[in-house]
Amino acid sequence: MKKQLLPLKKNVYKTALHVHTQVSDGELTPEELRDYYKKHGYSVVAYTDHEVLVEHTDLAQDDFLPITSYEISINAKQKVDCYDYTKTYHLNIYLPDPHANTHFAFTPSTVWGNAVNYINDEIAKINYNREYSIDCVNDVIKRTNEIGGFVSYNHPFWSLQDRTDYIDMKGVWGIEVYNHGGFDVGYYESYYPLDELLRQGVRVLPLAVDDSHNYQQSCGGWAMVMADNLTYDEVFNALKKGDMYSSNGPEIKDIYLEDGYVYVKTSKVKQITLTTDRRFVRTIHASDDNGIDYAKFYIGDYLDKTVEHNVDKDKAYIRIFVTGFDGSTAWSRAYFYDELV
């Protein structure tokens, strides 16, 4: 029986999940960014300015949807008077209500730059106690999840973080595997934290984002979101469910399961890989410069061994990634055992 892993919906919307504007430290106005993204084929932009939540519903058009969100930072204590050494958690908080003013993790002392202009008396009364700990991070995630939102964990490499900082993260929605703004200046994020969390059974999505502050940092990493209509609810829920894939180049057109095989259809690429929680990886390579746009992988033995070897099924997953001739990548989300049987 055929089972879609990438859902079939009427539309696929190109989405920027992480951008900064003049509301915080970006160079462009929210409107300039909208127009630039639209020109490059985007339909959705999540405005994630630093520290303050500012809605941009006024920018919505028939073919453009702004998502209400913001980015908070939870900084470690500085040992010397210089931010260059400071570990920090950067989290994007995405809200299910476009008109939300849910500043529950707001801390006045962390607001800097233009963002100070967006604090009003009501918001200023909130003073969330941020401390650099996984408990604080998990509390922010839990509060966001409780109101139907979701949280991404941003650029761990730029943030000077390692396994000890994120391995106990719970309920997190996505983790950045590609940050175009960081890449632009030389910070190479990686997919390694993604698999570390997945191997703990955390169902976290791989995210390719821009973290853009100007035109140059825009349109380099995106999500393709499957939904029937360009409404806030449909797009937000598709993101939340993981009805999407991430990319900085290749296209994934279809992923489905049939009779023990995973079938993958893509744009022309150099290779298509299926990787898992264990030492079970398969790659189909292009035999010439024409590339490939299709692969099939047998996972029947992978599933059988999961049972035979008594593997914790909550930690058993497959995921697909696709590599272009220029080294660019597209990442599917992870599909766990319960979705594969």
Q: Residues in the site for Zn ion, rule: CB under 5 A?
A: 71, 90, 154, 211
| Closest approach of Zn ion to the CB of residue 112, in Å | 13
| Closest approach of Zn ion to the CB of residue 27, in Å | 13
| Closest approach of Zn ion to the CB of residue 22, in Å | 14
Q: Residue number with the shortest CB distance to Zn ion? A: 90
Task: Give the bridge partners for 258, in sequence order.
Answer: 261
| Closest approach of Zn ion to the CB of residue 175, in Å | 13
Pick the closer one to Zn ion by CB: 21 or 306: 21
Pairwise CA distance, residues 226 & 8, whole Å:
7
| Closest approach of Zn ion to the CB of residue 181, in Å | 7
Phi, psi of 165 (to 5 degrees): -85, -25
Pick the closer one to Zn ion by CB: 157 or 261: 157
Pick the closer one to Zn ion by CB: 194 or 269: 194
Pick the closer one to Zn ion by CB: 71 or 234: 71
| Closest approach of Zn ion to the CB of residue 19, in Å | 8
Pick the closer one to Zn ion by CB: 90 or 240: 90
| Closest approach of Zn ion to the CB of residue 307, in Å | 42
Task: Give the bridge partners for 245, in sequence order.
Answer: 224, 332
Pick the closer one to Zn ion by CB: 71 or 243: 71
